[in-house]
Structure 1
Amino acid sequence: MRASIPALALWLGLAGLLPFLASAAAAWLAPVAWQAVAVRAFLGYSAVILSFLGGVQWGVAMCRERPGEAPFRRRMLLAMVPSLVAWPALLLHPFTGAWVLAIGFVLVRLHELSREGGARLPDWYHSLRMPLTLVVLACHALLIWRLWGS
């Protein structure tokens, strides 16, 4: 059974999709001079959100794991990986950076679905994150398609 998502978390999660949707659309539909700005905005926002997802794991480690024990150490270390992927992705060609960020979102979601990564996360979090991740990945696919060959 799916857990009920708290209304505030749902609304904030959906609101968090707006910059992805708007900048992906602008990369296709905006005047040419603004398309490059839209691509940079998309990639920057994507990197911020990917880093945020690592912060979720950091918060879980601080609040729900015992410091000094192996699960705490692993969760804290893995919480840093999204930021260490996201920032360098911004230094790459936009096409490559979009791929790196998309793969980062997939890897974070797979970690959240794993026994260890998903442990101690509330059930509603999984119900929220799956559709959000799918929309984020669809937006990345649109951007990658737009950048194909550039």
Structure 2
Amino acid sequence: MHDARFERLTRGLGLAGLLPFLGALAAAWLAPPFWQVLAIQAFLAYGAVILSFLGGVHWGLALGGGVAAAVRHRRLAVAVLPSLVAWPALLIDARLGAGCLAAGFLALRAYEAGPGASGLPGHYRRLRTLLTLVVVAAHLLLLLRLMRLA
């Protein structure tokens, strides 16, 4: 059971997790050229870290049990996919990498909205929807910036 303080803490930490995305995105648009390149790299690296972290949430839920074995097995398989999307996204062209990361965030959220919802508290699912929308919008704005630099 989660109390209101726990939910506020979860929301606050989740929203704070947007700051590196937004700061790097702003720098990608506004900083001097050298710093723009660094900001783009930082944005993509942070996106890869966060996408992998979100996979870890499902790994932890699978280990916790409380659901049918088939659900736990599927959750374990899904848990490793974000890392398998995130890591190569860092090694390819930044535009393609940003697109892959955005797709990874959307795909994981879609899974969580369906069969992956088991074991996820309602407040977490709502927060993940909000955070995913902001993160994907930030990736799209980064893609726009990358297209203007090309």
The TM-score bracket by the shorter chain reads: over 0.9
Q: Is the 1:65–1:71 Cα contact (8 Å) retained in structure 2?
A: no
> 1:127 Cα deviation (Å)?
1.4
Q: What is residue 53 of structure 1 aligned with on the other side? A: 54
TM-score (norm. length: structure 2): 0.92
For structure 1, list consecutive stretches of 5 or more residues without a partner in the other structure: none
Give percent identity, aligned residues only.
53
CA–CA separation in structure 1 for the residues paired with 2:6 and 2:142: 29
Alignment of 1:78-117 (within 5 A): 78-114=78-114, 116-117=115-116
Residues 78-102 of structure 1: per-residue CA shift (max 9 Å, x gap):
1000000000010000011000000
Query: Map of 1:1-150 to 2, 5 A cutoff?
Result: 6-65=7-66, 69-114=69-114, 116-148=115-147, 150=150
Alpha-carbon distance in 1 for matches of 2:94, 2:36: 12
Residue correspondences, number = 146
Show structure 1 runs of 4+ deviating over 2 A.
64-67
* Cα distance in 2 between the residues matched to 1:133 and 1:49: 11
In structure 2, what is the Cα distance between the partners aligned to 1:132 and 1:58? 20
Deviation at 1:120, TM superposition (A): 1.2
Q: Give the Cα separation in 2 of the matches to 1:127 and 1:104.
A: 18
Q: Tell me: higher relative CO, structure 1 or 2? Use CA pairs within 8 A at least 6 residues apart.
A: 1
Q: CA offsets per residue over residues 81-139 of structure 1, 9 Å max, x none?
A: 0000000010000011000000000000000001x211111111111111111110111
Letter in 1 for 2:29: W
Q: 1:61 & 1:55 partners in 2: Cα distance?
A: 10
Can you give the 5+ residue segments of structure 2 that lack an aligned partner in the other structure?
A: none
Q: CA separation in 2, counterparts of 1:35 and 1:123?
A: 38
Task: Give the Å deviation of 1:64.
Answer: 3.1
How far the C-alpha of 1:70 sits from its partner, in A, is 1.5
Task: Using structure 1 for the length normalisation, give the TM-score.
Answer: 0.92
Q: Which segment is superposed worse, 119-128 or 10-19? A: 119-128
Paired with 1:34 and 1:45, the residues of 2 have a C-alpha distance of 16
Give deviations 1:36-71, integer Å, cap 9, x for gaps.
Answer: 00000000000000001101111111113468x221
Mapped to 1, the partners of 2:5 and 2:138 lie a distance apart of 26
